[in-house]
């Protein structure tokens, strides 16, 4: 997929991206649309608001969790070669991981589909050395499950770190080599790499929105051990196009190499875990891929978020279209919607409207109130007088994540509430697993499952 799009389409994409960045206060971005009309890539803004360096179409951004379907592709290829079965217990291939008894039978497939029950946001720093993933796997041995394996779905960064260690053991090399040699040398994602934190002029810097305006984020780096989940991956929209093309072309590379069979490619986008009922943002999860709402066809892809950077990838196999967007701050979701809607990109999952809010049954907010926890965060949910909820989130535990914040949730139904970003886009927060008294025992926020805390003192 290398033919350039028409000059008219190219100019239109540039104009929409520039206007969208200004509207969404995004310092810099690159957008790519590829398909039957050819390939159009446009850049806008700056890589760093202090240096003023201009974004170019080939500029490198942090792609975050778009790394996950890449890691999944490497694992699935190992399965296709007979090196493992997706239904094997994952611990068979990770000697350092001695899981909690209830997690002993977690399969490779469950790690890929975020259904393992393993706590997901365990951001332990195990150093910068070649044993970072091995040490992380050992540290995960004491984690208790947040749900029985296969019983629910909860976004799981730690599971992908374990899959990265699995690849190291199978291939007897570093995850960095597995990723960059295969996807770079073989597949054609030639500028894809795992950052060591060095500053480079061709790389975007993340930005935060402050009272004084948009400001660069310096010296914030996630642990190397989470690299298979996306903590350190940088790349361009052309790297994402090369990877997406592999999955559009039934596992064939640009050179005609059958890197993965059509059957395995198709298996990766089969629904393995359905999203909680009421979630309008995604249908569920395949193996590495997120599956998005669409009228008549499969739409798959992934998003990625790091410190001040957000990335989007959408793929529509029905007509061979790829849409990629890389941003370095601002209200990225607003820019994503602006570009996608302007080009009528159903593949962006936007054709499914957010459902209209309905007034929940009286007293429902009070039943949802309480404390819900993960190993990294504690959510205190307080009921308001008009059926709304106020959620106070604070870091908690050894793997504490993020900063304390409070968000207002507006009711959409008995089980579904919504939080709104700066651009007014809603995200669902869903309460599930009612006890006999109608009190939900789980809250799904940010696609993570948090469980109701039971006070040991009663």
Q: Is 73 within 8 Å of 79 (Cβ atoms)? A: no
Instruction: Give the span between the Cα atoms of 365 and 408, in whole angstroms.
Output: 12
Q: Give the DSSP letter of residue 5.
A: P
195 catalytic? Reply is: no
**Six-digit token pair at 107?**
């399969």
Instruction: Give the span between the Cα atoms of 133 and 231, in whole angstroms.
Output: 13
Instruction: Give the span between the Cα atoms of 191 and 168, in whole angstroms.
Output: 21
Tell me how far apart the terminal alpha carbons of the chain are, to the nearest angstrom. 62
Q: Residue 182: what are its φ and ψ, rounded to 5°?
A: -75, -55
Sheet holding 193-194, edge to edge: 61-62, 233-235, 193-194
Instruction: Give the span between the Cα atoms of 184 and 410, in whole angstroms.
Output: 45
List, in order, residues 6 or more apart from 297 with CB less than 8 Å away. 316, 317, 318
Instruction: Give the span between the Cα atoms of 289 and 96, in whole angstroms.
Output: 27
Instruction: Give the span between the Cα atoms of 374 and 146, in whole angstroms.
Output: 8
* Annotated catalytic residue, options 49, 65, 158, 236: 65
Instruction: Give the span between the Cα atoms of 406 and 393, in whole angstroms.
Output: 6
Q: Residue 120: what are its φ and ψ, rounded to 5°?
A: -90, -35
Instruction: Give the span between the Cα atoms of 409 and 283, in whole angstroms.
Output: 22
SS3 state at 152? coil
DSSP states of 370-397 as a string? EEEE-SSEEEEEEE-TTS-EEEEEEE-S
User: Known catalytic residues?
Assistant: 65
């Amino acid at each position: 997929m290398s033919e350039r799009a028409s000059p008219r389409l190219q100019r239109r994409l540039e104009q929409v991206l520039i206007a969208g960045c200004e509207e969404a206060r995004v310092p810099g971005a690159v957008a790519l649309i590829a398909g039957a009309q050819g390939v159009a890539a446009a850049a806008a803004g700056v890589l760093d608001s202090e240096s003023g360096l201009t974004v170019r179409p080939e500029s490198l951004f942090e792609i975050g969790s778009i790394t996950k379907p890449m890691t999944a592709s490497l694992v699935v290829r190992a399965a296709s070669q007979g090196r493992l079965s997706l239904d094997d217990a994952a611990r068979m291939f990770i000697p350092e991981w001695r899981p909690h008894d209830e997690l002993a039978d977690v399969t490779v497939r469950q790690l890929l589909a975020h259904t393992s029950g393993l706590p997901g946001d365990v951001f332990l720093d195990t150093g910068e050395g070649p044993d970072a993933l091995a040490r992380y796997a050992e540290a995960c041995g004491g984690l208790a499950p947040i749900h029985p394996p296969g019983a629910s779905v909860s976004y799981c960064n730690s599971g992908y770190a374990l899959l990265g260690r699995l690849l190291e053991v199978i291939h007897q090399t570093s995850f960095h080599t597995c990723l960059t040699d295969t996807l770079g040398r073989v597949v054609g994602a030639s500028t894809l790499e795992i950052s060591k934190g060095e500053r480079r002029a061709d790389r975007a810097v993340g930005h935060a929105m402050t009272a004084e305006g948009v400001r660069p984020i310096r010296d914030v780096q996630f642990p190397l051990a989470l690299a298979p989940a996306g903590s350190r991956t940088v790349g361009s929209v052309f790297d994402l196009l090369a990877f997406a093309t592999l999955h559009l072309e039934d596992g064939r590379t640009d050179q005609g190499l059958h890197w993965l069979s059509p059957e395995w490619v198709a298996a990766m986008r089969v629904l393995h875990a359905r999203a909680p009922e009421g979630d309008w943002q995604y249908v569920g999860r395949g193996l590495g891929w997120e599956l998005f709402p669409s009228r008549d066809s499969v739409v798959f892809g992934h998003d990625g978020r790091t410190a001040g950077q957000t990335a989007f990838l959408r793929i529509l196999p029905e007509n061979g279209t790829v849409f990629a967007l890389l941003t370095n701050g601002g209200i990225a979701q607003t820019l994503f919607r602006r570009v996608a809607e302007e080009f009528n990109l159903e593949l962006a999952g936007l054709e499914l409207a957010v459902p209209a809010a309905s007034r929940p049954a009286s007293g429902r907010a009070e039943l949802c109130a309480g404390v819900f926890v993960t190993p990294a965060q504690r959510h205190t949910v307080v009921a308001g007088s008009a059926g709304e909820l106020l959620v106070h989130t604070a870091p908690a535990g050894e793997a504490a994540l993020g900063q304390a914040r409070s968000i207002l949730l507006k009711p959409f139904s008995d089980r579904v509430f919504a939080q709104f970003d700066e651009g007014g886009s809603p995200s669902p927060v869903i309460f599930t697993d009612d006890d006999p008294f109608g009190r939900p025992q789980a809250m799904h926020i940010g696609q993570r499952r948090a469980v109701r805390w039971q006070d040991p003192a009663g």
